[in-house]
Structure formats: structure tokens, C-alpha cells
Structure 1
Amino acid sequence: ARWAMWREGGARGAALLFGLALALEALARLLWRRRGRRAPVSEVLFFPSPVTCTEALLADPLAAAAASSSPCPCLLPHGESALSRLLRRLLSARRSLELCLFAFSCPQLGRAVTLLHRRGVRVRVVTDSDYMALTGSQIGHLRRAGIQVRHDERGYMHHKFAIVDQKLLITGSLNWTTQAIQNNRENVLIVEDAAYVTPFLAEFERIWKEYNPTHYTFPRSSNKKRTEHLFRAWRGL
């Protein structure tokens, strides 16, 4: 009888130890996964941004590798700035980029978007119809590069946001103009959170559908107030 009790107790102890070992293994795996998982992106940028060289970010990868052994001949200061940080987030796109911008005339940001398109990233742009025709606008360059662009027909398309890979939201007060970047008090919020990305993505898709060129009717009547507002936008105000 004692032998049977001892054997039964030993079996229970072994089962308990085996269960404990499995639990510890599962806990170790969970902790390892959490350790390897990066924290979601959350960043705030303030402008105006110091003028710095961004060639290293915007150069073609092959050209950049060939020039890596020699210093950049650019006379601009080298280092981080609000603009370079914005460019890094933008250039992190691997699959898709949705842009919804009232004003887009910054050459560096235009080059970044074109570079992503050449890399095979699906780029879609929504912009304001009148502003895109002003001197210095990057919209014409994007269209010539083969990037899809749609615009409003009436009112103002006054949004200022970008969505990277459908998971990273870039939004704020900043118009993507050199004037705004270098001279204005502006803010940009960069956040990787589905609670914020999802409604912005839904808004983009709604506008993209609404601004289908098959829905356009021309011509539109001129509007003095709209013209004055566009002039202020051109100044980056």
C-alpha cells in the first residue's frame, strides 16, 4: 500500500513539475517576444526647421554607396533637423503612401515622394486644385513621374496628412512648403496607432473616391476670396 501511495505521489509530483516547466517555457517565450518587439512610433516635430543638408537621405542608394567614402561637398550644415526627421519617417514607407496636402512645394519632400515611387511604393496624392497650379508646386513633377494625383473641384482641400504603409500617421499644421518649413511656427505629430490611423485612412479613401476625375465638371467660376487665400498659402501663411 505504501509503495502504491509513494508511486502515486511521485507521478503527481512529476506531472506538477512538467506543468511548471511548460509554464516557465511559455513565459520565457512571451518575454522574449516582447523584448524583440519595438515600441510604436510616437514623435512630435516643431518648425521652423534649421536648414541642413539632406542629400544623404535623398540620394539614390547606389550613388550614396559610391559617395560614402568621400565627404559631402555641400556647404550646408550636416546633422538632424525637423525636416530630416520628417524625411526619415516618410522614406520608411515600403508598401504604400497616401498624401492629403493643401500645399506641396518643398523640393526635398517632393524628391522623397518620387524616390518612394521609384522604389515600387504605391503613392497616391490628393491636393487642392488651385494651389497645385502655382509656381513651385511639386504636383506637376509627381504627375510626370507617374504618381497618381487627384484634386478637388470646389471648396478647399485643406487637409495636411500622410499615411505610411497604412500604419503610420503624419499630420499637423504644416503645409509642405519651404516657406512653412523654414520660417513658420508649425507642428507635426507622427504616431503609429490604429485608433488614429484608421479614421484618417477612411477619410483619405472617401476623398479619393469623391475626387475621381470622372466626376469633375468644368469650368468653375472665379472667386476673389479663394484667390486671396491661395496667395496667402503661396506665401506659406
Structure 2
Amino acid sequence: MRRLRWQVVAVATVGLALVLEALPSALLWLRAWRLRRQRRPQREVLFFPSQVTCTEALLQAADAGPSAPLTGCGCSLPHTESSLSRLLRALLAARASLELCLFAFSSPQLGRAVQLLHQRGVRVRVITDCDYMALNGSQIGLLRKAGIQVRHDQDLGYMHHKFAVVDRKVLITGSLNWTTQAIQNNRENVLIMEDADYVRLFLGEFERIWDEFNPTKYTFFPQKKRGH
């Protein structure tokens, strides 16, 4: 009987030691779980014109990858946050997908960010207005040359939307055309929000337009005559 008691005590002691050993990990997991539950959805409002600051270091870091050390670009521009740099950060946060629906797109910084995401393996789709496809300074041709899918309208009215959806969970929308003129000179606004209901609505609109602008449905291509 005494031997059995000692065995029970030994088993209990070992069990207690295992519980105490696992307790810190369990507490860390619980804390991380609580932080995830308590994390507030992303909400940010940007106003333009944006202060002219350096964005090169941000783009270089995105190009080099997350493990690369940050290096300065050496330019004389202020190395501080601006509305443009915050917009770039919101875009560069994409890991899986990026839907762009833009009337005008000529900003070289934003165009470079989109190409970096494409090179990283992010699925990028772009919808734009047909009148903006071949304008001087437009980024659309460069995006298409990089292999990014682009569709445009064939209507008389403008495709005047200005929104983006990052990873199907973050909406970027507002009055801003993605042009240097608008970014540096115009009074504009951009709302960045993580809201499932609004994202779903904008994704639905994107998919509807994406299907409507399918090149197989264009009517301005010459039709082949029967028998030829």
C-alpha cells in the first residue's frame, strides 16, 4: 500500500511539473489570442495634397524583402511619413490579391508598388478607363508589359471609380486619382478601412465590371464574315 501511494505521488509530481512547464506557453498563446480578438479593424483617413517626402527607401525595402536591412536612399527629401507613403504602405501590405479600379493612374511611385506586388506573386487585376490607356505618363502600359491583367471599358461614359481592395479585406477609396498632379496639388481624400460588409460590396462591383469589360465582349473589333 505504501508503495502504491509513492507511485501515485510520483505520477502526480510529474504531472504537475509538466503542467507548470507548459503554463508559460499556454499563457503566451492566450495573450496572443486575446490581442487578436481585441485588435481594432484598420481605419485611416488620408488627405491630399501630400507633403513631398522620400518614398524611395520604402519602395527599396519592399523590393528587397522583409528580411533585408533598411538602408537610406541618400536623397535630400524629408524622410518622414506623408499621405503618399501611408497609401504606399497600405498597398504594399498585400500578400495574396489586389484589385484596382481607377480612372487615372500615372503616379510612378504607386505604379512601382503595384509592379513589386506582382513580382512578389500577388494576384493583381486592374480596371481603368479606355481614354486613359495610352495617355503619356500613364502607368497602365507599364503594368500590362509587366504581365498584369488590365481591362477597360468601351462606353461613352467614363469608368470613373477610384478604389482598391487589398487581400479581399481592406478597402481603399476616395476622391483621389492616382496621378502626381492629384497627389501633389489637389485637395483630395482617401479612406482606408477594414470592414467586411463594405469590402464585399466593392468586390461585387469590381467583379461585375471585370466581367462586363471582358475583351471577348468588345464590339469595336471587326467581325469576320461568314465563309472567311
TM-score tier, shorter chain, comes to: 0.7 to 0.9
> For 1:28-55, what per-residue CA distance to the aligned partner results, in whole angstroms no more than 9, with x for missing partners?
x877623244221000000000111111
What secondary structure is seen at the aligned counterpart in 2 of 1:146? coil
Aligned twin of 2:201: 199
Matched to 1:130, the amino acid is D
1:31-50 alignment to 2 at 5 Å?
A: 33-37=33-37, 38-50=39-51
| Partner Cα distance (1:137, 1:146) in 2 | 16
1:230 maps to none
1:65 matched to 2:68: yes
More divergent stretch after superposition (128-137 vs 80-89): 128-137
Q: How many residues align?
A: 189
Give the gaps of 5 or more residues in structure 1.
1-28, 220-237
- The residue number in structure 1 matching 2:167 is 165
- Structure 1: how far apart are the matches of 2:142 and 2:191? 26
Which structure 2 residues correspond to residues 103-118 of structure 1 after superposition, within 5 A?
A: 103-118=104-119
TM-score, normalising length: structure 2: 0.78
* Structure-2 change in CA distance of 1:200 and 1:54 (3 Å): same
Could you list the structure 1 runs, at least 4 aligned residues long, displaced by more than 3 angstroms after superposition.
Answer: 29-32, 62-67
- The change in CA–CA distance for 1:32 and 1:81 in structure 2 (over 3 A counts) is closer
**What does residue 84 of structure 1 align with?**
85
Give the equivalent residue in structure 2 for 1:53. 54
How large is the Cα RMSD of the aligned pairs?
Answer: 2.0
Deviations 1:92-125, CA, capped at 9 Å, x for gaps: 0000000000000000000000000000000000
Percent of matched pairs sharing the same residue: 75
CA distance 1:132–1:67, change in 2 (3 Å): same
TM-score (norm 1): 0.76
Q: Residue in 1 aligned with 2:131?
A: 130
Unmatched 5+ stretches in structure 2: 1-28, 222-228
d(CA) in 2 for partners of 1:31, 1:144: 47
Contact 1:114-1:142 at 8 Å conserved across structures: yes
